[in-house]
A and B are shown apart, each in its own frame.
Chain A
Amino acid sequence: MAKEIIQVKNLKVHYPIRSGFWNRITDYVRAVDDVSLTINEGETYGLIGESGSGKSTTGKAIVGVEPVTSGQIIYKDVDVTKPSNRRKLNYNKDVQMIFQDSMSSLNPRKRIEDIIAEPIRNFENLTTDQERTRVQELLDIVGMPSDAIYKFPHEFSGGQRQRIGVARAVATNPRLIVADEPTSALDLSVQAQVLNFMKHIQQQYNIAYLFISHDLGVVKHMSENLAIMHRGRLVEIGSRADIYNHPMHIYTKRLLSAIPMVDVENRIKHKKHRQEVELEFQNDQSKWYDKNGCVYPLQQVSGNHWVALPKDEVIQEELNEKGRD
């Protein structure tokens, strides 16, 4: 069993809703509501959800840029939700982030050299020459020409900028990179390039990724284990095979059936299946969701396949079903 790098325990991020005449806090937006997951060393953990599911907030909370309401994030046996612990462990060096919008996440007035060197300068004492060699190495890793260091972000295409974002993220030799929709804004062929680089770097440096995306195809390609998130809660977690071949929660099934497939021959069958699942999803709301519209707590159904099942009997029923597969 691989060693875990980070453990998220009962993470909650709630935002107050103010309303009424006096603008009092009347309720909370439960952006992340009791999320627990474990990421192993050197693995890619996929986090899937639609817009507003809380997947990005989870990622930001792990990196430490989003205040946590409650819960723990355990790194090297220490809870890093406390800023003092993060400093002690050099957590911000070990955990980096890649963003979706590479244009706005790179300072437009800085040259690539300074952009990539910035995290190095924060954590390491290198001479100017050493630093430049390191930046060149990093650019080389992501397949960028060496004269790129003198240029500005706007001089690059979207794919190239995203690779610069990857280079910056790996500059400090991190153990974990939280990648928030890293390829959503990119064209297909460019996306392929960035994903390939991310995989190569992972193999070379044993980096773990938390790969956040709404694209189930991309996550399937990238991750060994993954979690499905909906309305701030985890719906289903498991291995790639568990989720894609044996989805158990209706929401997972609905999400999977909605991915457009490149299978023209069976597209009518696929559409019919999708509409059946959608109908089931609409009709069985009360079965799968509690009265607040949230899914139930996760229950273990096998190995590391956990599903937000409503009742014990459902487990049995579903397990039987699974056995027949």
Chain B
Amino acid sequence: MWKTVLRRILIMIPQLIILSILVFFLAKMMPGDPFSGQINPNTDPKQLAALKQAAGLNDPAPVQYARWVGNLFKGDMGTSYIQHVPVTSLIADRAVNTFWLSLLTTIICYAISIPLGVTAGRHQDEWQDQTVQIFNYITFAVPAFVFFILGIWLFGFTLGWFPISGSVSPNASGFWGTLGSQLYHILLPAILSALITTTSIVQYLRTGIVDNKVEDYVRTAHSKGVPDNVVFNKHILRNSLLPIASSFGTVITGLLSGSMVVEMVFSYPGMGKLFLDSIGQRDYTTLTALILIFGTLTLLGNLLSDIIMSIVDPRIRIK
């Protein structure tokens, strides 16, 4: 198994290189350079050219690329054109927020979708299943932003149960106070985005159970005198959870990099909101850094899925 994992990691290296090249040229093609906005507009163009020369902007592309990658390894992703702070620190603040939001969303998402999928699969075509199906249609069909706005209106505005924007209350003090306030702030966005993420997991699980129920090995288990509920939990459910487990990697990176809508609607200061803000402000250094991060996360997510799969599925593990 370790060989498989190691090989899988090695395969990621060329993928990462290709990703970085793409991002690099994307950045090159964007208007502006590190001096835009930082320099007095009255600066002598000759002096500017000299500065550019000194900064290596006239070097051949491969040299610049190598320097850029070198800086990346040092944690230097450039300076934001707009905010005039290093992109790394800009993103780092937001990444923490997004991380906590995504983590909570993932937990809630699985906590909701697994029981729903199991119920639907177990009671296939009965009222329980039909109820879950209706729920699924809603979460699938309603656009995310409509869903969020309705959620804010209902739970935040009308009922007043949750705060509707920000990541922490300005009045919060002390470690526990701050933590509590932070949790309180991400609860509603996490629940809402968990709900719209459940669709595919519920559907996968339900289909898995329905398919496995009629497999011959389930009949064999019954023929051994294994009680019905044990057959369900030990044979049917366990085998149906396999694809769910392996989808974990993609689900969590999907949440990490796909949190734009929820962060925008809730004005939550995370990476998604930063991304949208950067587009609005044409903050290209931040933008390319974020694209690079999202791309890397996607690759890591797939890696994680593959690793989980190779741990839980003996057919892949033993080879």
Residue-wise, chain A 20-59 has the 8 Å CB interface mask toward B (1 for contact) of: 0101000000000000000000000000000000000000
**A21 proximity list for chain B (CB < 8 A):** 3, 6-7
Q: Which chain A residue shows the least CB distance to B319?
A: A19
Residue-wise, chain B 1-15 has the 8 Å CB interface mask toward A (1 for contact) of: 001001100000000
**B6 proximity list for chain A (CB < 8 A):** 21
A230 vs B6: C-alpha distance when bound (angstroms) = 38
CB of A23 to closest CB in B, whole Å: 8
In the complex, number of A-B residue pairs with CB atoms less than 8 Å apart: 4
Q: Which chain A residue shows the least CB distance to B7?
A: A21
A21 vs B5: C-alpha distance when bound (angstroms) = 11
A23 vs B10: C-alpha distance when bound (angstroms) = 13
Place the interface of chain B in its size category: under 10
A21 vs B6: C-alpha distance when bound (angstroms) = 9
Interface residues of B in 126-150 (CB under 8 A from A): none
**B7 proximity list for chain A (CB < 8 A):** 21, 23
Place the interface of chain A in its size category: under 10
CB of B201 to closest CB in A, whole Å: 32
A214 vs B3: C-alpha distance when bound (angstroms) = 39
A23 vs B7: C-alpha distance when bound (angstroms) = 10
**B3 proximity list for chain A (CB < 8 A):** 21
**A23 proximity list for chain B (CB < 8 A):** 7
A223 vs B97: C-alpha distance when bound (angstroms) = 77
CB of A19 to closest CB in B, whole Å: 9
Q: Which chain B residue shows the least CB distance to A19?
A: B319
CB of A27 to closest CB in B, whole Å: 16
A62 vs B221: C-alpha distance when bound (angstroms) = 44
CB of A26 to closest CB in B, whole Å: 14
A256 vs B176: C-alpha distance when bound (angstroms) = 82
A21 vs B4: C-alpha distance when bound (angstroms) = 8
Q: Which chain B residue shows the least CB distance to A21?
A: B3
Residue-wise, chain B 35-70 has the 8 Å CB interface mask toward A (1 for contact) of: 000000000000000000000000000000000000
CB of B316 to closest CB in A, whole Å: 15
A294 vs B7: C-alpha distance when bound (angstroms) = 34
A21 vs B7: C-alpha distance when bound (angstroms) = 7
A176 vs B3: C-alpha distance when bound (angstroms) = 48
A23 vs B6: C-alpha distance when bound (angstroms) = 13
A168 vs B5: C-alpha distance when bound (angstroms) = 49
Interface residues of A in 84-115 (CB under 8 A from B): none
CB of B183 to closest CB in A, whole Å: 46
CB of A53 to closest CB in B, whole Å: 25
A23 vs B319: C-alpha distance when bound (angstroms) = 12
CB of B317 to closest CB in A, whole Å: 16
A23 vs B3: C-alpha distance when bound (angstroms) = 11
Interface residues of A in 1-30 (CB under 8 A from B): 21, 23
A21 vs B3: C-alpha distance when bound (angstroms) = 7
A310 vs B249: C-alpha distance when bound (angstroms) = 57
Residue-wise, chain A 200-218 has the 8 Å CB interface mask toward B (1 for contact) of: 0000000000000000000
Q: Which chain A residue shows the least CB distance to B3?
A: A21
Interface residues of B in 1-36 (CB under 8 A from A): 3, 6-7
CB of B319 to closest CB in A, whole Å: 9
CB of A21 to closest CB in B, whole Å: 6
A61 vs B6: C-alpha distance when bound (angstroms) = 38
CB of B277 to closest CB in A, whole Å: 45
CB of B249 to closest CB in A, whole Å: 23
A21 vs B1: C-alpha distance when bound (angstroms) = 11
CB of B10 to closest CB in A, whole Å: 9
A156 vs B7: C-alpha distance when bound (angstroms) = 49
A21 vs B319: C-alpha distance when bound (angstroms) = 11
A168 vs B173: C-alpha distance when bound (angstroms) = 83
CB of B13 to closest CB in A, whole Å: 14
CB of B87 to closest CB in A, whole Å: 38
CB of A24 to closest CB in B, whole Å: 12
CB of B5 to closest CB in A, whole Å: 12
Q: Which chain B residue shows the least CB distance to A20?
A: B3
A139 vs B31: C-alpha distance when bound (angstroms) = 71
CB of A17 to closest CB in B, whole Å: 12
Q: Which chain A residue shows the least CB distance to B6?
A: A21
Residue-wise, chain B 115-129 has the 8 Å CB interface mask toward A (1 for contact) of: 000000000000000
CB of B105 to closest CB in A, whole Å: 38
CB of B310 to closest CB in A, whole Å: 15
A146 vs B110: C-alpha distance when bound (angstroms) = 58
A206 vs B276: C-alpha distance when bound (angstroms) = 76
A23 vs B4: C-alpha distance when bound (angstroms) = 11
CB of B318 to closest CB in A, whole Å: 13
CB of B46 to closest CB in A, whole Å: 55
CB of A18 to closest CB in B, whole Å: 11
A21 vs B2: C-alpha distance when bound (angstroms) = 10
CB of B44 to closest CB in A, whole Å: 57
A62 vs B3: C-alpha distance when bound (angstroms) = 39
A239 vs B3: C-alpha distance when bound (angstroms) = 52
4 sample A-B contacts, Cβ–Cβ < 8 Å, listed by A number = A21-B3, A21-B6, A21-B7, A23-B7
List chain B positions with a Cβ less than 8 A from chain A: 3, 6-7
Top-4 shortest CB links A-B: A21-B3, A21-B7, A23-B7, A21-B6
List chain A positions with a Cβ less than 8 A from chain B: 21, 23
